[in-house]
Amino acid sequence: MAAERLDEATIADNLHKMEGWVRAEDGNSIWKAFRFKNFVEAFGFMTECAIVAEKLNHHPEWFNVYNRVDVTLTTHDAGGLSELDFKLAARMDKAAAGRMPDHLK
């Protein structure tokens, strides 16, 4: 069963509950920049998230340089944001907890 695109009210409600996630200008994706203590913490985060993404069959678009991981989430099949994007975003936030320096939380 294909994921369904969320309506504007549901997207706004979900974003309101998530810290640091920003909606893209086109409205079809959400984005967050994660900053970690070092490369090992960033890579550990990506590894943990890769396992979750595979289980959800929902894969992020991400970019990594040293301690930085920039993530963009969208559901291409739905033509925008679906519940999968917010599930994966929440799991990414959980995976980042404890890996980020205190001044970046």
- pLDDT tens digit string along 42-84? 999 999 999 999 999 999 999 999 999 999 999 998 889 999 9
C-beta separation of 53 from 79 below 8 A: no
For the chain, the structural domain boundaries read 8-104
Q: What angle (nearest 5°) sits at the alpha carbon of residue 64, between those of residues 4 and 88?
A: 25
**Side-chain-facing half-sphere of 44: CA atoms under 13 Å:** 14
What pTM did the predictor assign?
0.92
CATH of domain 8-104: 3.30.1360.20
